[in-house]
Amino acid sequence: MSFASGSLLPTMVRRERASLAATVLAPVLALLVALILNLSLYRLMGRDPVAIVYAMLLEPFMSWASFSEVLLKAGPLLLIAQGLAIGFRAKVFNIGAEGQFILGAIFASAIPVYFPQATGQWIWPAMLLFGAIGGALWASITAFWRVRLNANEILVSLMLSLVAAQLLNYLLLGPWKDPNGFNFPQSVMFQYDAMVPTLIAGTRLNVSFLITLVLSLAAFVFMQKSFSGYKLQVGGLAPRAAGYAGFKQGSAIWLSLLIGGFAAGLAGAAEVAGPIGQLQRSISSGYGYAAIIVAYLGGLHPIGIVVSALVMAVIYIGGDNAMVSANLPIAAVRVFQGSLLLGYLIAIAFVRYRLEWPKTAPKAADRSPS
């Protein structure tokens, strides 16, 4: 992998073995660099960097109520990122988790919308199941196009996210619109039995967070201990060797996308059945895209993703605090997230590769005529 064909420019040479310490420190370095650059930007914008650091990085830990909001925000990020990471390690790049999240929310909302008088503790588990199925079905469209038509899964999944957003708009401006909602694009409020039970009284943290932790453990076992997870990793690292071993690429693509869609759809269902309690146009705060950052910041490892999801959740909650206390625009928070991913990608590139400068040939000695 070279920067250019010119003889004076360096080339990127893959290291035989990446240092474990450097791999662990890469996301930490990325966070520090992103923090320094963004604080400098805030200073240029006329904001107080100290106040922003307090609001963004310290205030979320100052009370149990605020920390419970961090955990609540980390839930969907963690769940989606775990599903995406399985595909990313198999070199199946599902960029459409945002659309799968929306479809999960739509499928889950269908139960309380069409059966508003239904009661019983079966409703919210059924909503979570329907949401997961909806996300998987939406991802299956990408899998079909990728396997049967050799379409690029990045483009297909991304465009399907736009379709999902338009479908959501249609439902909330049309058949699912709350007639008593003062003309806002939203569904009716869901009944009590359609809400996921809370874990701690006085907070919005609910049972879906525990489900996410269990599924994170399942993702670790699947990728590290199961034969199916092994096949996915081999297919991503050495596709030719996987083919010689009889591992089918089509099956890996289907499995990767269905798992990613299942996780994103489940996250969408947990969002409408949890803290929101109705289907809204703003159901997703960009979770599907932010989860990509979370997955890579965690090194595509289930344990690392848990840590990176908490970091991203702190940035989300802290960004909301900074918008209120320091008048920080939402775009500045998005820049922070993007610079975090960019910094990590640059750092991890130098963990896995090294610069090799061309050797300069010795100049020929001048010979005087005899």
CB 257 within 8 A of CB 86: no
The arithmetic mean of pLDDT across residues 269-278, rounded, is 93
The answer, yes or no, to whether residue 363 has pLDDT greater than 60, is no
Q: What is the pLDDT of residues 191-231, one digit of tens each?
A: 999 999 999 888 899 999 999 999 999 999 998 888 888 88
- Beta-carbon contacts of 176 under 8 Å, excluding residues fewer than 6 positions away, are 109, 113, 187, 279
Compute the distance between CA of residue 30 and CA of residue 317 in angstroms, rounded to an integer. 20
- pLDDT, residue 364, reads 52
* Element holding 30 (H helix, E strand): helix 20-44
- Beta-carbon contacts of 346 under 8 Å, excluding residues fewer than 6 positions away, are 30
How many residues are present in the chain? 370
Determine what percent of the chain is predicted with pLDDT higher than 90.
53
- pLDDT, residue 52, reads 86
Compute the distance between CA of residue 41 and CA of residue 26 in angstroms, rounded to an integer. 22
Compute the distance between CA of residue 128 and CA of residue 208 in angstroms, rounded to an integer. 9
Q: 23 pLDDT band (50/70/90 cuts)?
A: confident
Compute the distance between CA of residue 17 and CA of residue 30 in angstroms, rounded to an integer. 21
- Beta-carbon contacts of 134 under 8 Å, excluding residues fewer than 6 positions away, are 100, 103, 104, 106, 107, 108, 265, 268, 269
